[in-house]
Structure 1
Amino acid sequence: MQNKNWDAPLDDDSVQKLAYIQEQTNQDFSAAIKQAIEQYYNQINTTNKPPLQIFQELGLVGCFNGDSDLSVNYKTKIADYLKAKQEDNRL
């Protein structure tokens, strides 16, 4: 793709947002636009990312403290929790 100069008309809201970005980051117009394009591109381009990285970026990977056999006895744990909660509400 060739590097071409082009005009991209922006509405007033976009101009204000761009001015704010430039002010906060001390970037010129071109650098602010390049950074915005790069961030958006990285956000939507998942073809080069391993699934774990995608899940981490989406906040779907984490950890918690619990029983190591929770996948086996989760129904019992949930039932016990709900029973205890119900008993607490009766008091």
Structure 2
Amino acid sequence: MNCQISWACLSDVQANGQIKNALLFSTDIHLLHEQIVEYYQARFPIEVIVSHAKQFTGFWDFQDRHLPRLDFHFNASLIALNLAKHELYSSMALKK
């Protein structure tokens, strides 16, 4: 299968002199390289949030197919995650 892609390469020199590269791809060939980097930077925090919600708050532990109930469950899961993070950061600030 042939598919045109647009890509960007990020390089970073580490403290030990090693070079770390990241290749970022998009099937939207009209995106500028800067836009690809910007989209990936915006996507990463979202993936971390969903990963934490799945691990710690039962984000996927629901079997109902009724959309309002699913909406409530996902919102409750994300609220629980935000409250836990707030509590963690508050307790860390008190220890300083």
TM-score (norm 1): 0.30
Structure whose CA Rg is larger: 1
Q: Does 1 or 2 have the higher relative contact order (CA < 8 Å, sep 6+)? A: 2
Q: Specify which structure has the higher proportion of strand.
A: 2
TM-score (norm 2): 0.29
Q: Specify which structure has the higher proportion of helix.
A: 1
